[in-house]
Amino acid sequence: MSGAIGVLYKHIDGAHFFVSYDKEGAGLCVASTDLKTAFDEVAKQLNVLFEHNHGKKSNFQPGVPFEVFKRATDASWLIAKGADQSGMMIPASIQPWMSNLGVQQ
């Protein structure tokens, strides 16, 4: 493991979704209508899933603080609205959640 798990963020029908397609994050799916609630829950769920899937405890933390993530998300919405007046374009991003495990295995 590289010490980071890629977490995909999307806003769909009023809910903020965080999922991971990385092997280490298998099963992650967090959603809430409140962005901060969903963001904060990701690390908690990754810790539980990683221990369940790999038998090791870890301490995952987001790669950037919530305030930075929110600013980037808000900016991507503004860009999408400017580029696509129809409103069909939905911004998404992949964010790293870091682990205290470092490089192992």
pLDDT tens, position by position, 33-67: 999 999 999 999 999 998 998 898 989 999 999 99
Report domain extents, the chain.
4-85
What's domain 4-85's architecture? 2-Layer Sandwich (3.30)
| Residue matched to tokens 């603080």 | 65
pLDDT tens string 81-104: 666 666 655 666 677 778 776 434
Measured from the Cβ of residue 35, the count of other Cβ atoms closer than 10 Å reads 18
CB within 8 Å of 36: residues ≥ 6 apart: 66, 70
Confidence of residue 105 (pLDDT cuts 50, 70, 90): very low
Confidence of residue 1 (pLDDT cuts 50, 70, 90): low
